[in-house]
Amino acid sequence: METGVKYADVCIDVSIEKLDKPFSYRIPERLSGIICVGSRVRIPFGAGNTEKKGYVIAIKDDTDYDPDKVKEILGLVEGSMGAEDRSFEMAAFIKDTYGGTLSQALKAVIPAKAKAKPVEIKTLVRKMDRDELLALAAEAARKNQRAKENLLRALIENDRIPSSWISGKLRVSGATVTGLIKSGAAYYETSSEYRKPTVSEMEKKNVSLNGEQAVIVSAIEKDIEEGKAGNYLIHGVTGSGKTEVYIRLAEKCVLSGKQVIFLIPEIALTYQTLARFYSKFGDRVSVLNSSMSAGEKYDQCERARNRDIDIIIGPRSALFTPFPNLGLIIMDEEHESSYKSESTPKYHAREVAKKLCELSGAAFVMGSATPSMESYSAAVSGKFTLFTMKERATGFGLPQTEIIDLRKELSGGNRSMFSRSLKAHMDETLARGEQIMLFLNRRGFSGQVSCRECGKVIMCPHCEVPMALHGNSKLVCHYCGEITGKPSNCPSCGSPYLAAIKAGTEQVEERIVKMYPGVKVLRMDKDTTSAKGSYDRILSSFANGEAQILIGTQMIVKGHDFPNVTLVGILAADLSLGVPDYRASERTFQLLAQACGRAGRGDKPGLSIIQTYQPEHYAVKCAAAQDYEAFYEEESAYREAAGYPPATHMLCIQLFGPDQKKTALLAEELSDVIKSKGPVRILGPAPANIMKVKDYFRYVLYVKNADLKRLSDIRGVSEDFFKDKDMGQMFVQFDLDPMNQI
Ligand code: ADP
Ligand code: ZN
Ligand code: ZN
């Protein structure tokens, strides 16, 4: 073999099947040192040597193929970037920032290619009136016909539903739709073209912007017009009219021939939000969600590429919709942890969206009532333009809040989970015929089961976590899903006195039902929402007034607007403060502030009652006062002093292995290697909080540094170290600025 010759792995078509099989090409001498990973190159392809465009994903000294048969790269591709090149650039950015391989990054960025059938655009149109549909929905609920009920509820809220939403968002089968059409509730309208929104339709729902909204919209529009689109953070209290601002900006963008990506946490992707966009933009807006098949997702991408749609709404993966002329990315509820990818590459949608906007000259607008520490500090330091909306758009005030010290309740002789004040207000609210939301930051019976005689807790056989009791006889591990029956005797000492600590949503429901016989109650947590469409069903049934009390975990805090809810009770506000995580206070503040914001969103005044054992904690006090700035001050002082993001950056390196000793040893070795490359702050290695999951042990080390480049170099050093190791079944994961302490 010639010396000095280098080879490039080239992806011809950036689609998933081909990615697994890049082609090997020789790098000609004149391009040696010029071509690098990420270069776009022209190459001869196939028997006829047709010239194609490809991307270099790796450079090697060797090739697995016969060197004499390996073809040579023709040259570099010049010229402007298309959507596909931009994807490639984004993948390179993600790989550089968050680690992993280029092909993992490309897989995150590029939708799987799947055969797209020619689409026939169908729209389900409402035929019956609202009352008739409500009666049918109630009947379907009685007969336990969940899918039918979901679809009917969607029809109650909207008179026209694109069929793509039915299979996507609502996940309703064709048979259900046919049945519904037969019953005369709705009919299908078919066309071969996407309906363009007409002017009259666009005007129909227009509210005139208030002062605060108008200032924001015109400031951002001015920047866009002057070609100075940047990053914006809208800090607006719940109900201040942020969504109206997004819609107005999106409208302007679409009218100027550009496209919009609207990011929303998957859980907040409610029919209400979709309906607002849909009534404005008609079939020019589409939705992506995680339950869609690869084919459906690819279809949405094709529609975007072909300019059949102008707006895509979806969770973080919607970022990679290949719009030819992207003008705006909106990120609602930007503080949500679901914006961070849980699998490698563990990218954060905020950083990726920012980069994408830079590349496309688009504006990046984030909004939240409780901005993340990251975004708000970027705004404070002038990297993002900050807008503040302090008033509710409807003109009604923020809810009153009351903090109840549970320690005093206990010493006053009240041992129930409801304080005297909450109980009294529940009585009154029910008597007035208004609605109540009860929020508990736990799911199931929180309860681990322990022996009252020897104190032993029943643990999962595969994980280092207690099993949780569900119902009366089932034990479930929430980490690996192991399910066993509850033993009748203690496995350790044989005592028959096994008991669960009860403080979960199920138990709240039991108590409420006993306290208020005859009052309709709904419960929403992971257990009641595991079935398809159940999340929307519970929310819309509560919105339709079919129950007076909704009990739930953090899920009930998001998204929906319930004008008739005038009382919010937060049963154990500090449960989330006890979590060993540097974001515990931030998350508690967010949850409490958002939960409080749920009360009194209509024309009736609201009250939120926060029950807590730590009434003096700043997260609790600031949330009750709806004082974000005060919280930010305290929290950023803490992050600064303790050296946590956003004051610095933190690279988390997690090692997994079936053999505890070997895994621990590997972590130690890695730590030494990193230290040998220069002084740097390392925490650990230490066993992870939950040391064993699914029979794998987990060790963690944290490297802290304010310089991202330094952390990325350290990641490179670690990757090289592992490359030369016999890892066996051990593996490693990198996480930059993790959302949870591990
Ligand atoms: P956010 O997204 O900040 O929670 P929304 O945009 O959903 O707020 O607005 C809250 C409520 O106020 C909605 O019912 C919306 O229709 C209404 N609203 C928003 N802007 C205005 C306005 N300028 N005039 C009257 N009502 C408004
Ligand atoms: Zn025992
Ligand atoms: Zn387990």
What proportion of the chain, given as a percentage, has pLDDT over 70?
87
* Span from the CA of 344 to the centroid of ligand 3 (angstroms): 22
Nearest ligand atom owner, CA of 244: 1
Q: State residue 202's pLDDT score.
A: 38
* Span from the CA of 566 to the centroid of ligand 1 (angstroms): 18
| Beta carbon of 738 within 6 Å of any ligand 1 atom | no
Per-residue pLDDT for 232 more than 90?
A: yes
* Span from the CA of 420 to the centroid of ligand 2 (angstroms): 36
Nearest ligand atom owner, CA of 466: 3
Nearest atom in ligand 1 to the alpha carbon of residue 240 is: 3
| Beta carbon of 597 within 6 Å of any ligand 1 atom | no
* Span from the CA of 394 to the centroid of ligand 1 (angstroms): 6
Total residue length of the chain = 742
Beta-bridge partner residues of 191: 121
> What integer is the mean pLDDT of 534-556?
83
More confident residue, 466 or 126: 126
| Beta carbon of 214 within 6 Å of any ligand 1 atom | no
Per-residue pLDDT for 194 more than 50?
A: no
* Span from the CA of 455 to the centroid of ligand 2 (angstroms): 6
Beta-bridge partner residues of 738: none
Nearest ligand atom owner, CA of 695: 3
Kind of pairing between the strands at 50-60 and 40-45: antiparallel
The mean of the pLDDT values for the chain is: 84
What pTM, to 2 d.p., does this model score?
A: 0.78
Tell me whether domains 211-389 and 400-444+503-641 share a fold: yes
| Beta carbon of 332 within 6 Å of any ligand 1 atom | no
Nearest ligand atom owner, CA of 487: 2
Which residue has the CA at smallest separation from atom 21 of ligand 1?
393
Q: Return the CATH number of the domain spanning residue range 649-736.
A: 3.30.70.600
Q: State residue 580's pLDDT score.
A: 62
**DSSP, res 741:** -
Which residue has the CA at smallest separation from atom 23 of ligand 1?
209
Confidence class of residue 165 from pLDDT cuts 50, 70 and 90? low
| Beta carbon of 368 within 6 Å of any ligand 1 atom | no
Nearest atom in ligand 1 to the alpha carbon of residue 389 is: 3
**DSSP, res 111:** P
Dihedral sign of CA atoms 711, 715, 720, 726 in order = positive
Cα separation, 689 vs 350, whole angstroms: 27
Nearest atom in ligand 1 to the alpha carbon of residue 369 is: 3
Give tens-digit pLDDT for 36-79: 777 778 899 888 888 888 888 778 888 888 888 899 999 888 76
Q: State residue 350's pLDDT score.
A: 96
| Beta carbon of 242 within 6 Å of any ligand 1 atom | yes
* Span from the CA of 233 to the centroid of ligand 1 (angstroms): 18
| Beta carbon of 270 within 6 Å of any ligand 1 atom | no
Q: State residue 444's pLDDT score.
A: 37
> Which residues fall inside 5 Å of ion ligand 2, going by CB?
451, 453-454, 456, 490, 492-493, 495
Give tens-digit pLDDT for 591-650: 898 888 888 777 788 899 999 888 899 999 999 998 999 999 999 999 998 888 999 999
More confident residue, 163 or 243: 243
Q: State residue 189's pLDDT score.
A: 78
Q: State residue 1's pLDDT score.
A: 44
| Beta carbon of 394 within 6 Å of any ligand 1 atom | yes
Least confident of 161-175, 233-247, 373-387: 161-175
| Domain extents in the chain | 6-108, 119-193, 211-389, 400-444+503-641, 649-736
Least confident of 186-195, 392-401, 674-683: 186-195
- The correct answer on CATH 3.40.50.300 for the domain covering 211-389 is yes
Nearest ligand atom owner, CA of 456: 2
CATH top-level class of 400-444+503-641: alpha beta
Tokens 């026209």 label which residue?
160
Q: State residue 143's pLDDT score.
A: 81
Q: Which residues contact 544 (CB under 8 A, 6 or more apart)?
A: 134, 153, 156
| Beta carbon of 370 within 6 Å of any ligand 1 atom | no
Judge whether 232 and 365 are in contact, CB under 8 Å: yes
Nearest ligand atom owner, CA of 558: 1
Of 205, 217, 243, 280, best ligand 1 pocket probe by most atoms within 8 Å of the beta carbon? 243
Local structure of 142: helix, strand or coil: helix
* Span from the CA of 212 to the centroid of ligand 2 (angstroms): 62
| Beta carbon of 657 within 6 Å of any ligand 1 atom | no
Cis peptide before 563 (omega within 30 of 0): no
Q: State residue 417's pLDDT score.
A: 84
* Span from the CA of 317 to the centroid of ligand 3 (angstroms): 29
* Span from the CA of 457 to the centroid of ligand 2 (angstroms): 8
| Beta carbon of 101 within 6 Å of any ligand 1 atom | no
CATH topology of domain 6-108: GIY-YIG endonuclease (3.40.1440)
Q: Which residues contact 455 (CB under 8 A, 6 or more apart)?
A: none
Cα separation, 632 vs 318, whole angstroms: 30
For 469, phi and psi rounded to 5 degrees?
A: -80, 130
Nearest ligand atom owner, CA of 330: 1
| Beta carbon of 393 within 6 Å of any ligand 1 atom | yes
Which residue has the CA at smallest separation from atom 9 of ligand 1?
241
| Beta carbon of 300 within 6 Å of any ligand 1 atom | no
Dihedral sign of CA atoms 384, 339, 242, 388 in order = negative
Neighbours of 496 (CB within 10 A): 11
Which residue has the CA at smallest separation from atom 15 of ligand 1?
241
Judge whether 99 and 732 are in contact, CB under 8 Å: no
Q: State residue 656's pLDDT score.
A: 95
More confident residue, 221 or 32: 221
Dihedral sign of CA atoms 104, 654, 378, 217 in order = positive
* Span from the CA of 207 to the centroid of ligand 1 (angstroms): 9
| Beta carbon of 559 within 6 Å of any ligand 1 atom | no
Of 205, 207, 244, best ligand 1 pocket probe by most atoms within 8 Å of the beta carbon? 244
